[in-house]
Amino acid sequence: MNIEAVKERAGPREFSPADDLPREYREAATRMIQFHANSEVMGGYLDKEFTRMAPSLDRKLACTAKCQDEIGHAQLLYRAAESLGVKSREQMLDELQNGEGKFLNCFHYPVDSWYEAPMIDFFVDGGAMRRQATLKNTSWEPYAHAMDKVCFEEGFHVKHGEDILRELMRSSKANQERTQKVFERWWPRILQFFGPTNDESHHDDFAQQVGLKTVSNDELRNSFLNMYVPKAEKYGLEIPEYPRIFERDDGTMAVREEDLDWDEFWTIAKNDYPGSEEQIGSRRQRQNAVAWVRESMDDWETGSGRAAAGAD
């Protein structure tokens, strides 16, 4: 099948490993799913930090469960990407720890307070839900099937984050002020979560032509604003003056894209942001810490471990 035939046939859950797909499609799908899987891993590391910061046992348990979910999502997605035959799961994980793998901008920023938990667990995960719901109709069937489980669990994550925000904004004046201050710092980052504007995106057009994506970056960002600006205001948060939000002729909201720091965004996209090395280094340290487990399992699979066990 050539790429023109793929574009003509593209539709929800249309292609599977049984299809003879061109390399161009397989590489584009691998890049997209690998990015998603990497982001799930790195998002899980932020949830690990929130587990330590959480103010109660119930919150710690919820953060721990969410962290486990995120890593589980990553494993599903790496397998969906692996089924395209371009890269192995091990290659993708190695690229992540070596700083070659890309992941979402929001997960390059280290967190240092509990007030950041709802920024990730409510707003960022809420944005993820807007995007991931559309991916149930992606053209690569294994990806779509993975999204069925991912979206189900992410819905609970958003509710968890909303509950944290509700608790903070209904508590002391000091907590409200601290949450507002953190929100102002995170709001531009959250709006950049959806990626570059349509005219600046390098892969958006092709991904939509072959059915990997069904909604553009700008459409997702505007949909998020329509839903989450009212939610933020409901809990008493004030939307920052910048970046400027405005109402379009059709009554929907959009952002003045020139108000966002796209230079910083593209620096992050290259893993060159000052916080990137800290986050990637955290992944590398944990990967190296359990290298002995992987080596032992490999030895067992190759027979040397079984032989040693038999000798005992």
pLDDT for residue 201: 61
Q: What fold is seen in the domain 3-311?
A: Ferritin (1.20.1260)
**Joined tokens for residue 37:** 């899987």
Q: HSE on the CB side for 151, CA within 13 Å? A: 15
Q: How many CB atoms lie within 10 A of CB 295?
A: 10
Q: How far apart are the two ends of the chain, measured CA to CA in Å?
A: 55
pLDDT of 165 above 80: yes
Any idea of the CA torsion for 258, 263, 264, 267, to the nearest 10 degrees?
150
Question: With 70 as the cut, is the pLDDT of residue 163 above it?
Answer: yes
Q: Is residue 310 over pLDDT 60?
A: no
- In one-letter notation, the amino acid at residue 77 is L
Q: What is the pLDDT of residue 78?
A: 95
Helices (DSSP H) in 98-216: which residue ranges? 117-118, 125-134, 141-169, 173-192, 204-209
Which has more confidence, 305 or 262? 262
With the CA atoms of 49, 55, 60 and 66 taken in that order, what torsion angle do they form, in degrees rounded to the nearest 10?
-60
The C-alpha angle with vertex 12 and arms to 7 and 13, in degrees rounded to 5, equals: 100
User: If pLDDT is split at 50, 70 and 90, which confidence band does 202 have?
Assistant: low
Q: Which of 21, 149, 146 is nearest to 81 (CA)?
A: 146
pLDDT tens digits for 206-235? 888 999 988 888 888 888 999 999 999 999
Number of Cβ within 10 Å of residue 46's Cβ equals 25
Answer whether residue 279 shows pLDDT above 70.
no
pLDDT tens-digit map of 58-102: 999 999 999 999 999 999 999 999 999 999 998 998 888 888 888
pLDDT digits (tens, 9 = 90+) for 166-183: 999 999 999 999 999 999
As a whole number, mean pLDDT of residues 33-37 equals 94
- Tens of pLDDT along 234-265? 999 999 988 888 888 777 888 888 888 888 88
pLDDT at 24: 93
Q: Which residue carries 């942001």 as its tokens?
A: 273
| CB-CB neighbours of 294 under 10 Å | 11
pLDDT at 126: 92
3 state SS of 195? coil
Task: Give the per-residue pLDDT at 278.
Answer: 67
Which single residue is written with the structure tokens 């995007």? 131
Q: What is the mean pLDDT of the chain?
A: 87
